[in-house]
C-alpha cells in the first residue's frame, strides 16, 4: 500500500470536521491532563465519539494520558512548577491564556498520543493501521533484509493532527496559531526514530541482520520537550494582528511559544524536597532550605543460601541527606 493510498483511506475513515480551527485541541489537551480518573477524551464531538468506537483508539487515548502525566511529573519533579494535579489545573484554568507551562502540556500530550498510536499500530492493537513499511538504503538492502514490525510514526502523526483538528485551512487568531504550533512541536519530536537490528547466524556471527525502525523511549522525548520549555519564547505586541504576524515570522519551528507570563509558583514550594543544595536555590525561590540527615533501613550483605534457592539479606542502616524548602 502506497503512502498516497494509505492517506486517502485514513481520511475517509477520519474525515475533517469543519474548515476552521475550533477549540477542540484545547478541550482535548485539558481532558488529557484532567484530574478525573475517566476524562471525557471521546466526548468532545460526535466525530470523536465515532472514532472511539474502536477499542484500540480508546485504549491509546488512556495510555497516552498516563504516559504524558507520568513523564511530565518525572521531568519537573524538582522544578517550582512540578506538573502536579494542582499545577496542571492552574495552567489550563484561565480561559484562553497560554503560559509557558500550557505550551509544554500541549506539546507533551501531542507527543504522547503520537508515540502511543505509532506503537499501537506496530503491535496490532488498533484495527485501522498496521506496522510501518521500512526501506533500507540501497547498498545494504541485499545484505540486511528488513523485517519485523516498525513503529508507524507516519500514521501516529496523521492521527494526532486529525484528532486535534490541526489540519485546518485557516487559523484566524494568535491563540489558535500558538496552540497549533506547540502541538506540532510535540508531534515532530517523536519522529526522531532509531534503527534496531537483530543478528542471525551461527553462534552469534551476525552473517545477516533483520532491522526495523523504532521510536526512541518516550523519556528521551520528554527530556527534549523539557529543554524546549526552558527555551520557550513569549509573544507580546501592541495589538492582536501584529502579534500573530510577528509570531509566524520570527519563531523557529522547534521553539515552544507562549503568550502570557506564568503565575508565581514560589509560594507553593514550601515544604518541597530538593534534589541537592544547588537545586534548592531554584526550587526554594531563595527562601533557603533545611538540611536533615535521616536513616534508612535497607537490605545488605545478601547471599544465596545453599540448596534452598533463597536469598538471605541482613538489614543495614544507611544515612542520607535530604533538603527541604523553607
Residue 250 exposed, middle or buried by CB count within 10 Å (0-12, 13-18, 19+): exposed
- d(Cα 141, Cα 146) in Å, to the nearest integer? 7
DSSP 299: E
Report the candidate in 208, 183, 210 with the shortest Cα–Cα distance to residue 196: 210
Return the SS3 of 159.
helix
C-beta atoms surrounding 27 within 10 Å: 17
Residue 106: in which H helix or E strand, if any?
A: helix 100-123
Report the candidate in 112, 12, 116, 21 with the shortest Cα–Cα distance to residue 59: 116
If asked whether residues 7 and 46 sit together in one domain, one would say yes
In a domain, 201, yes or no: no
In a domain, 198, yes or no: no
Report the candidate in 155, 177, 183, 160 with the shortest Cα–Cα distance to residue 21: 177
Residue 136 exposed, middle or buried by CB count within 10 Å (0-12, 13-18, 19+): middle
Task: State if pTM tops 0.85.
Answer: no
pLDDT at 248: 54
pLDDT at 117: 94
Q: Judge contact between 301 and 316, C-beta under 8 A.
A: yes
Give the range of the structural domain holding residue 160, as residue numbers without chain letter.
3-189+217-262
Give the CA dihedral 73, 79, 221, 243, nearest 10 degrees. 110
Cell numbers at residue 283, please?
526550587
Q: Judge contact between 318 and 296, C-beta under 8 A.
A: yes
If asked whether residues 251 and 321 sit together in one domain, one would say no
Report the candidate in 109, 179, 191 with the shortest Cα–Cα distance to residue 155: 191
Q: Judge contact between 186 and 109, C-beta under 8 A.
A: yes
pLDDT at 120: 92
If asked whether residues 148 and 97 sit together in one domain, one would say yes
In a domain, 114, yes or no: yes
Largest CA distance in the chain: 80
Q: Judge contact between 113 and 106, C-beta under 8 A.
A: no
pLDDT at 52: 84
Return the SS3 of 200.
strand
If asked whether residues 137 and 169 sit together in one domain, one would say yes
Cell numbers at residue 38, please?
475517566
Cell numbers at residue 42, please?
471521546
Q: Judge contact between 225 and 186, C-beta under 8 A.
A: yes
pLDDT at 131: 78
If asked whether residues 108 and 136 sit together in one domain, one would say yes
In a domain, 205, yes or no: no
Low-confidence residues of the chain: pLDDT under 50: 1-22, 135-146, 169, 237-244
- d(Cα 36, Cα 24) in Å, to the nearest integer? 19
C-beta atoms surrounding 287 within 10 Å: 13
- d(Cα 19, Cα 62) in Å, to the nearest integer? 28
If asked whether residues 57 and 167 sit together in one domain, one would say yes
In a domain, 64, yes or no: yes
Pairing of strands 289-305, 310-325: antiparallel
In a domain, 210, yes or no: no
If one counts the domains in the chain, the total is 2
Amino acid at each position: 500500500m502506497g503512502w498516497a493510498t494509505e492517506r486517502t483511506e485514513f481520511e475517509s475513515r477520519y474525515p475533517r470536521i469543519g474548515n476552521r480551527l475550533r477549540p477542540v485541541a484545547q478541550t482535548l489537551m485539558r481532558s488529557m491532563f484532567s484530574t478525573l480518573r475517566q476524562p471525557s477524551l471521546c466526548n468532545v464531538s460526535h466525530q470523536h465519539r465515532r472514532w472511539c468506537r474502536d477499542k484500540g483508539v480508546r485504549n491509546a487515548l488512556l495510555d497516552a494520558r498516563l504516559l504524558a502525566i507520568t513523564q511530565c511529573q518525572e521531568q519537573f519533579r524538582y522544578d517550582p512548577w512540578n506538573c502536579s494535579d494542582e499545577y496542571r489545573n492552574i495552567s489550563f484554568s484561565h480561559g484562553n491564556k497560554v503560559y509557558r507551562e500550557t505550551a509544554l502540556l500541549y506539546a507533551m500530550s501531542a507527543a504522547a498520543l503520537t508515540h502511543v498510536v505509532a506503537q499501537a499500530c506496530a503491535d496490532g492493537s488498533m484495527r485501522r493501521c498496521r506496522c510501518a513499511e521500512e526501506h533500507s538504503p540501497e547498498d545494504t538492502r541485499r545484505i540486511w533484509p528488513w523485517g519485523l514490525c516498525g513503529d508507524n510514526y507516519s500514521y501516529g502523526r496523521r492521527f494526532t493532527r486529525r484528532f486535534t483538528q490541526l489540519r485546518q485551512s485557516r487559523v484566524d487568531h494568535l491563540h489558535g496559531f500558538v496552540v497549533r504550533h506547540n502541538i506540532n512541536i510535540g508531534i515532530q519530536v517523536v519522529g526522531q526514530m532509531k534503527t534496531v537490528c537483530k543478528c542471525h547466524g551461527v553462534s552469534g556471527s551476525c552473517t545477516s541482520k533483520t532491522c526495523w525502525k523504532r521510536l526512541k523511549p518516550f523519556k528521551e522525548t520528554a527530556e527534549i520537550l523539557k529543554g524546549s520549555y526552558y527555551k520557550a519564547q513569549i509573544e507580546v505586541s501592541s495589538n492582536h494582528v501584529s502579534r500573530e504576524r510577528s509570531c509566524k515570522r520570527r519563531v523557529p519551528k522547534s521553539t515552544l511559544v507562549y503568550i502570557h507570563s506564568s503565575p508565581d509558583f514560589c509560594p507553593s514550594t514550601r515544604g518541597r524536597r530538593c534534589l541537592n543544595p544547588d537545586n534548592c536555590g531554584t526550587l526554594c525561590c531563595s527562601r533557603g532550605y533545611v538540611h536533615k540527615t535521616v536513616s534508612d533501613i535497607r537490605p545488605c550483605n545478601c547471599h544465596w543460601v545453599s540448596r534452598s534457592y533463597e536469598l538471605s539479606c541482613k538489614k543495614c542502616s544507611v544515612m542520607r541527606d535530604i533538603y527541604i524548602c523553607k
